[in-house]
Amino acid sequence: MARKVTTGAKIGWTILAWVVALLIFFPILYALITSLKTEQEAIAGFSLIPSGTLENYITVQTQRDYFKPFMNSVILSVGSTILALIIAIPGAWAMAFAPGKRTKDILMWMLSTKMMPAVAVLLPIFILFRNFGLLDSRIGLTIMLTLINLPIVVWMLYTYFREIPGEILEAARMDGANLWKEIVYVLTPMAVPGIASTLLLNIILAWNEAFWTIQLTTTNAAPLTAFIASFSSPQGLFWAKLSAASTMAIAPILILGWFSQKQLVRGLTFGAVK
Amino acid sequence: MATQNTKTLARLMMAPSVIVLLVWMAVPLAMTLYYSFQNYNLLTPQNVSFAGFFNYQYFYTDPAFFQSIWNTMLLVLGVLGITVIGGVAIALLLDQPIFGQGIVRILVISPFFVMPPVAALIWKNMIMHPGYGVLADLARFFGVQPIDWFAQYPLFAVIIIVAWQWLPFATLILLTALQSLDSEQREAAEMDGANFFNRFIYLTLPHLSRAITVVILIQTIFLLGIYAEILVTTNGGPGYASTNLTFLIYRTARLGYDVGGGAAGGIIAVVLANIVAFFLMRAVGKNLDK
């Protein structure tokens, strides 16, 4: 039942909420605006009206080969997420539909691996990668991102699979479906939304991962996180270009993120808040 | 219902994820532990020898160590304070009837999707820069001397940036929890004449307590590992003023090429993270039983 609200109060709350929201969003908005300014305009003092030049976007591509780190980001985030799904789906399925005595312990243990500070294993990983020739390679970094996100993938899939009613499986079995038919015709259609949500959230997490991607790459496999970080010691006028590169780096994931608000809460709280 | 057959099958299906995670957890950690007792510098890889507890002692007696622990604490607590209090306030605000709620929500959660280097560089250059940043423009408009954030208050500046990134997360989770509050309960409280303040203290806050716990614990895990934001803004400086434990280990290991020292620091970080993790596991575990 909706509460009765006076229009006056609603307008008041609306103004307050919009002011707060715009303040929070302001840095992103200002980066977008700055990306459309010339470098001289960018340092000429506060202004919300750019001259509308697209020059920076072109320069970032021609001078710094923006497309390469962008493609690396796409390959690494999508690749590592799919790899993690392939490893995790059978396990999560088994834990959700045929839980044993130890299932809960295994889940908790998996979660605990996520809590190991990355920096604690920086050196072993660095040395292993160096010895196996995996430094600055897409394969190495894909494996790395798969490992970091695997516990979250298992957990998310598990919470989604657990909501699929077991009776449906039993009914299918009664009707004579074997395990294969059960998976293909009954389980998969019901599991697809959960898998899609997991995919989405993990692409976002992998895209924004900024420890290993910076530590283990130099140029060849460097995704956008490492590329943007290289702007931290600039020479000459660069703010408008930095803004253009930043805008392009966050735009795709921002849009994906807007569609995944619900999954985000669920995935990052390991199902504790829905 | 579970036959021996399905049990075996279930084990087989779990095997890949369990084995992969087991290797991922055990091998590097064992190596870190091993290195922490070695004299091993990447610049002189031929001189490797047993060091006993020297690396731990070295790390422990380094004045930067205690400063980095202190900075880590300030960073985690500062960000938690801002995000939890701000998150509750904004969640309450977004729960009010407002026009364009969907868009407001999208604007508020956006910073969470901004990758750390971008977030830090936008703040460093466009917002907090002492010469050309928006805050400097604002200060000059009011006739005040602009603040050089990263020179004068480096750790505070990092806290602000990280809090900006995590405020949406806290808000989103608290808002989700808030919306599950039974509206009948709320109406009953309103009918009984409870004012906004009393409703908040006696109804809303207890209802949010579990979500707040989750926010605190999950953020702590991520906040202990803050790295990129420091790297692109202050690089840990001036001196060690904005160096947290993660950054100190990175400095020792990658910039000092000191494998032994870095590994000893890593083990210390693992111990600290485990203390936090212990509480998180208990909270999440309790929740699983429901």
For residue A75, what pLDDT is reported? 94
Distance CA A84, CA A152 (A): 10
Supply the mean pLDDT for chain A.
Answer: 85
**Cβ of A122 and B254 within 8 Å?**
yes
Between B112 and B236, the higher pLDDT residue: B112
From chain A, pick out residues whose CB is under 8 angstroms from the CB of B114: 28, 208, 250, 254
Percentage of chain A exceeding pLDDT 90: 26
Q: Phi first, then psi: give them for residue B44, nearest 5 degrees.
A: -125, 70
- Nearest C-alpha of chain B: how many angstroms from A164? 17
Looking at the complex, does the CB of residue B104 fall below 8 Å from at least one CB of chain A?
yes
Residue of A nearest to B279 (CA): A112
Residue B271's Cα: distance from chain center in Å? 17
Q: Is A37 exposed, middle or buried (0-12, 13-18, 19+ CB in 10 A)?
A: buried
Distance CA A204, CA B112 (A): 10
Distance CA B229, CA B76 (A): 14
Asked whether B84 and B212 are in contact (CB, 8 A), the reply is: yes
Looking at the complex, does the CB of residue A4 fall below 8 Å from at least one CB of chain B?
no
ipTM exceeding 0.90, yes/no:
no
Which 176-205 residues of chain A touch chain B by CB within 8 A?
A: 179, 204
Q: Phi first, then psi: give them for residue B50, nearest 5 degrees.
A: -70, 135
Residue-level length of chain B? 290
From chain A, pick out residues whose CB is under 8 angstroms from the CB of B179: none
DSSP alpha helices (H): ranges in chain B? 4-35, 54-61, 63-94, 101-109, 116-121, 134-141, 149-152, 154-179, 183-191, 196-199, 205-223, 228-233, 245-250, 259-289
For residue B2, what pLDDT is reported? 53
Asked whether A97 and A160 are in contact (CB, 8 A), the reply is: no
Distance CA A123, CA B31 (A): 9
Mutate to test the interface with B, among A119, A128, A263 (most CBs of B within 10 A): A119
For residue B78, what pLDDT is reported? 96
Distance CA B17, CA B32 (A): 23
**Cβ of B267 and A273 within 8 Å?**
no
From chain A, pick out residues whose CB is under 8 angstroms from the CB of B110: 24-25, 28, 254, 257-258
CB atoms within 10 A of CB A212: 22
Mutate to test the interface with B, among A115, A131, A207, A263 (most CBs of B within 10 A): A115
**pLDDT per position as a tens digit, A90-149:** 888 888 888 888 888 888 888 788 888 888 888 889 888 988 988 888 999 999 999 999
Asked whether B112 and A261 are in contact (CB, 8 A), the reply is: no
Looking at the complex, does the CB of residue A19 fall below 8 Å from at least one CB of chain B?
no
Supply the mean pLDDT for chain B.
Answer: 85
For residue A188, what pLDDT is reported? 78
| CA terminus-to-terminus distance, chain A | 21
- Tokens 């049990």 locate to B7
Asked whether A30 and B122 are in contact (CB, 8 A), the reply is: yes
Which 230-249 residues of chain B touch chain A by CB within 8 A?
A: 231-233, 245-246, 249
The CA–CA distances, whole Å, from A222 to A77, A140, B157 equal 12, 12, 27
**Which residues are registered as beta bridge partners of B256?**
none
The topology (CATH level 3) of B63-289 is MetI-like fold (1.10.3720)
Between B21 and B186, the higher pLDDT residue: B21
Looking at the complex, does the CB of residue A251 fall below 8 Å from at least one CB of chain B?
no
Sign, Cα dihedral of A198, A199, A203, A209: positive
**pLDDT per position as a tens digit, B137-158:** 888 889 888 888 888 899 999 9
**Cβ of A250 and B114 within 8 Å?**
yes
Distance CA A21, CA B90 (A): 9
Distance CA A74, CA A181 (A): 34
**Cβ of B113 and A87 within 8 Å?**
no
Percentage of chain A exceeding pLDDT 70: 95
Q: What is the pTM of this model?
A: 0.88
**Which residues are registered as beta bridge partners of B41?**
B258
For residue A274, what pLDDT is reported? 62
Residue of B nearest to A173 (CA): B1
Q: Which amino acid is at A222?
A: A
Distance CA A65, CA A240 (A): 16
**pLDDT per position as a tens digit, A170-199:** 777 777 777 777 777 877 788 888 888 889
Range among A154-163, A229-238, B54-63 with highest mean pLDDT value: A154-163
Distance CA B176, CA B164 (A): 19
**pLDDT per position as a tens digit, B14-58:** 888 889 999 988 898 899 888 888 888 877 777 777 877 888 888
From chain B, pick out residues whose CB is under 8 angstroms from the CB of A109: 21
Residue B290 in this model has a pLDDT that exceeds 50: no
For residue A59, what pLDDT is reported? 83
Residue B83 in this model has a pLDDT that exceeds 90: yes
For residue A31, what pLDDT is reported? 92
- Domains of chain B, by residue range, sit at 63-289
Looking at the complex, does the CB of residue B226 fall below 8 Å from at least one CB of chain A?
no
For residue A1, what pLDDT is reported? 40
Residue A111's Cα: distance from chain center in Å? 18
**Cβ of B94 and A208 within 8 Å?**
no
Q: Is B255 exposed, middle or buried (0-12, 13-18, 19+ CB in 10 A)?
A: exposed
Closest CA to A160 of A84, A263, A77, A86: A263
| CA terminus-to-terminus distance, chain B | 23
Closest CA to A222 of A214, A210, A233: A214
From chain B, pick out residues whose CB is under 8 angstroms from the CB of A260: none
Average the pLDDT over B99-119 and give the result.
91
Looking at the complex, does the CB of residue B149 fall below 8 Å from at least one CB of chain A?
no
Q: Which domains, and CATH codes, for chain A?
A: 7-58 (no CATH), 66-232 (1.10.3720.10)
Residue of B nearest to A238 (CA): B125
Distance CA A109, CA A13 (A): 45
Looking at the complex, does the CB of residue B273 fall below 8 Å from at least one CB of chain A?
yes
Which 170-199 residues of chain B touch chain A by CB within 8 A?
A: 172-173, 176-177, 180, 183-184, 187
Distance CA A155, CA B285 (A): 13
Closest CA to A230 of B118, B240, B256: B118
For residue A141, what pLDDT is reported? 92
Identify the band that residue A72 occupies on the pLDDT scale cut at 50, 70 and 90.
very high
Distance CA B14, CA B199 (A): 47
Distance CA A2, CA A5 (A): 9
Residue of B nearest to A29 (CA): B107
Q: Which tokens in the block code for residue B254? A: 């990658």
Q: Which amino acid is at B57?
A: Q
Distance CA B215, CA A247 (A): 28
- Tokens 């045929």 locate to A98
Closest to A13 (Cβ–Cβ): which among B96, B137, B184?
B96
For residue B71, what pLDDT is reported? 93
Residue A5 in this model has a pLDDT that exceeds 70: no
